[in-house]
Chains A and B, each alone.
Chain A
Amino acid sequence: MGKIVLAIGVPHAPQLVSEPETWGEIYELVTCASRVGRKPELDKETLADNKAQHRAVKESFGIMERELANSRPNALIALTDDHFDNFFLDDYPPFSIYLGDRVDGSTIWMPNRKFEYRCDSTLEKMILERSIDSGFDLSFSEEIHLEYGHLVPLSYLLPRSDIPLVPIYTNAYASPNPSPARCYKLGSFLREVVEKYTPPDYRVAIMASGGMSHYPGEPLGGEVDVAFDTKMMEWLAAGDGPRFSQLTSSEIDKSGNTEMRNWIVMLGALGNTKPVYTNYILSWMAIIGLGFVMWKDITK
Chain B
Amino acid sequence: MSSYSINKILFKIKKDRKYRELFLNDFKEAIQGFPLTAEEERALEERNYPALLNLGAKAMLLLPFAGITRPKRSFVAG
Interface residues of A (CB under 8 A from B): 14, 25-26, 28-30, 32-33, 35, 83-85, 88-89, 107-109, 147-148, 173-174, 215-219
Contact = CB atoms under 8 A, between A and B. Distances in A.
Contacts of A30: 63
Interface in B31-71: 49-50, 52-53, 58-63, 66-67, 70
A84 B62 contact: no
12 contacts: A14-B77, A29-B66, A32-B62, A32-B66, A33-B50, A33-B53, A35-B50, A85-B78, A89-B11, A89-B58, A217-B60, A219-B53
Interface of B: 4, 7-8, 11, 14, 49-50, 52-53, 58-63, 66-67, 70, 73, 75-78
A201 B49 CA distance: 52
A218 B66 CA distance: 12
Contacts of B50: 33, 35, 219
B62 A148 contact: no
Contacts of A26: 77
Contacts of B59: 33, 173, 215-218
Given A32-B70, A216-B63, A219-B50, A173 B58 contact: yes
Given A29-B67, A173-B58, 11 more contacts: A29-B77, A32-B62, A32-B70, A33-B62, A33-B66, A35-B50, A89-B11, A107-B78, A108-B76, A217-B62, A218-B59
A83 B60 contact: yes
A33 to B, nearest CB: 4
B53 A84 contact: no
Contacts of A85: 78
A208 B43 CA distance: 36
Contacts of B60: 83-84, 173, 216-217
A32 B78 contact: no
